[in-house]
Chains A and B, each alone.
Chain A
Amino acid sequence: MTEVNEAPEGASRGGDVAGAGAEPLLKLRGIDKHFGPVQALYGVNLDLPAGQVTGLCGDNGAGKSVLTRCIAGAHQPDHGQIYFEGKPVHVRSTRDASALGIETVYQDLALADNLDIVQNMFLGREQLRYGLLDEDSMELKAAETLSTLRVTTVRSIRQPVASLSGGQRQSVAVAKAVMWNSKLVLLDEPTAALGVVQTRSVLDLINRLRDHGLAVMVISHNLNDVFEVADRIAVLYLGRMVAEGPAADFDRQSVVEYMTTGTANGRPYESAAAANGKG
C-alpha cells in the first residue's frame, strides 16, 4: 500500500536508542519454552523499549505466538528471565501481566459482540457505585480514552460491537488495552483482514500509542505494515531470534531471508544483540 517512509515525523524512529539509551521497558533473556517434545523457543532475547514500536516477524510456526503469550502471562517460559523496568519479574497469569501494565490484543480480539463498546472496554474491570455498575463514569472514561486515541468514527459508544467495522473493532480492542495505565501493548496481527482505509487508521493508532510513550510490539506477517510503523524489527526463525535491531538495518528482502532461512546473504545478523540469541 504505502512506500517505506525513510524519515517520517515520529521522533524516535529508526534510532539506535534501544542499545545505547536507557534500560528497555521489557527485556527477555534466554527464554526457552517447549511443549512436550516440541521445542518452541530457544534462548530468545528481546528488548522492547518504551516509546518505540517493535515489529516481530517470523514465518508460521516460528514461535511468534508462543513468545507473545510468554510475555502476556498465558504461558510460562521453562527457562530464562523477563525483566520489566529493569527488575526481574514472573508473569504467571494475564492478571500478573495487567498488573505490570502489559496488555495484549489478540488477533481474534475476543470482543463480546452483543455488548456495547463501554461494556467491552470495561469487561473484568467494571466500576461500581454502591455495589451497582456505574454506567455514567464508565461511559465518560471510555469516551475520553477513545477521543485521546482519536477513534472518532464510532456513532455511539453504546452501540453493540457487532455493528462496528473491522478497523473500529480493532480500535476498540486497542483502546480497551491502553485504558489501564498500560506501558506495553502487544498487538497480534492488528491489520490482518482489514481493508486499506481501515489498515491506515489502525497504523495511525499504533503511531499514537508510541507518541504517548508506550512500548508497542506488533506481530505481523505484513511487511508493508511492519516497515510503516516499526522503529525496531525482530525476526524469529524456528524458535530462535535470528535478527533484532533498528528498522534501518533491514529491508524487505533481508527480513524475508531471515524469516525463511535465518540468515541474509548467507550470513547471520551482524548486530551484537543477535549473537546472543543462539541456543
Chain B
Amino acid sequence: MAGVKAGAEIAAVPRHRALWLRSQAAVRDLWIGGVLLVLIVAFSIDSPYFLTRANWLNTSSTATEVLLLAVGETFVICSAGIDLSVGAVLGVSGTAGAWVMAHGFPNAAGAAIGPIAVGFLAALAVGTAFGLLNGFLVAWAGIPPFVVTLGTLGIATGFGYLLNNGQEISAIPPSVVTFGNANLGGWVPVPVLITAVITIWCGLLLAKTRFGAYTLSIGDSREAVVRAGINDRRYLLEIYTLSGLLAGVASILVMARLGAGSPTSGADDNLNAIAAVVIGGASLFGGRGTVIGSVIGTGIIAVLLTGLVLVNVPPFWQEVAVGAVLIAAVYIDQFRNRKATRR
C-alpha cells in the first residue's frame, strides 16, 4: 500500500551531472574569490614587500584570529542569527586564561605543560560558557540574537576589565609565547596550522553533515525544521556554543602570539569577522553560507589590512576600507540574488 515505487521517467540525474550541478552552484557563490586574487595581484604590483615571507607571516597571524571567529560566525549567520559578542568573548577568554596561569601558577618555569593546559582550558571554558549563555537565551528565552549578543558583548567586555582592572595580564609562562610564535619550515606558523585544521573540520561540518544541514535549514525556515520534528533549540544552542568555543580558541592563539591576555584584544575583530562571513556570501537572513566563502572573505580583509599599510595608506583607512567592502559585497550579492530568483 505504501505507494511510491521506482518509476523511470526522469529517473536519476546521472552522477557526473549531479556533481556538475553542485559545483556550478559552488562556483557561482565563490566569485568573491576572484576579488581576492585581484587584490593580491594589485598589492603585489604596487609594493615589492607584499609577496614576502615577512608579510605572509604578518598577514596570516592577523587572519587566524579573524578566521576562527568568522568560522563560528558563519554557523550563527547561516542560522539567521548574529553573534556580536565574539570579539568581546575573545578578550575575556584570553584574559581569564592568563589570569588563571598568573594566579594559579605564579612561578611556573620551563615547559610548564600543566599550568599551560589549565590556562588554555580556562580560556576555552569561558568562551564556551558565553556561547552556551548566548545559545540558551536565543533558543529558550526567545530573545532576538542581536539583543542577546549585544548584551553579552557588554557583559564579556566588563568581566574582561574586572579581571585585572582593565590591564592586560602578561605574567604567563614564557613557553606559551614560544608555542604561539613557532612555525614549521619558516612558512607555516603553528597557529595557522591549528586554524587550518579547525576550519577544514568546520567546513565539512557545515556542508556535509546533519548538523550543517540543520544549521542552514533553521536559518531558512525554522517552521520547516520544527515540523520535520527536529529539535531546533538544541541545534541553536550548539551553534552559539560552537561560536563561543572558537572565540576561546582564538583567544589562546592571540594570547600565545602576544604573550599576554588582554581584555581589548578582540575589540576590532567583531566587525572583521562578521564582514568576512558576509563578504564570503552568507546571507544575513540565514539559509545560505559556506565556510570556504568565509575563508575567502577573511583573506580579503586580511589582505586589505596589511596591503594598505604596505602601500603607505594611513592605517586608519583600514577600517574605512573594510566597512566599504562589506557594504559593496552585500549590495552585489542582493543584486545577484534578485536576478537568480527572477530567472
Contacts and interface: CB of A to CB of B under 8 A. Distances in A.
A128 B210 contact: yes
Contacts of A136: 15, 18
B38 to A, nearest CB: 28
B320 interface: no
B340 interface: yes
Contact of B341 (A95, A104, A132, A162): A162
Nearest to B342: A163
B265 interface: no
Determine which residue in A139, A150, A183 has the highest number of CB atoms from chain B within 10 A of its CB, and name it: A139
Interface string A134-154: 011001100111111110100
A158 B21 contact: yes
A124 B286 CA distance: 18
B2 A139 contact: no
28 contacts: A50-B1, A94-B227, A95-B229, A98-B229, A111-B224, A112-B216, A112-B287, A114-B286, A114-B287, A114-B288, A115-B217, A123-B213, A124-B225, A135-B22, A136-B15, A136-B18, A139-B18, A140-B12, A144-B4, A144-B6, A145-B4, A147-B7, A150-B7, A152-B9, A156-B21, A182-B3, A212-B4, A214-B1
Contacts of B286: 114
B224 A149 contact: no
B228 interface: yes
A152 B220 CA distance: 25
B341 A143 contact: no
A247 to B, nearest CB: 22
Given A132-B208, A148-B4, A114 B10 contact: no
Determine which residue in B204, B213, B340, B343 has the highest number of CB atoms from chain A within 10 A of its CB, and name it: B213
Given A115-B217, A139-B18, 17 more contacts: A98-B229, A101-B2, A112-B220, A112-B221, A114-B220, A132-B208, A133-B208, A133-B210, A139-B13, A143-B12, A147-B8, A147-B10, A148-B7, A152-B10, A163-B340, A182-B3, A213-B2
B12 A163 contact: no
B234 to A, nearest CB: 13
B3 A209 contact: yes
Interface string B210-247: 10010011001101110111100000000000000000
Interface string B72-92: 000000000000000000000
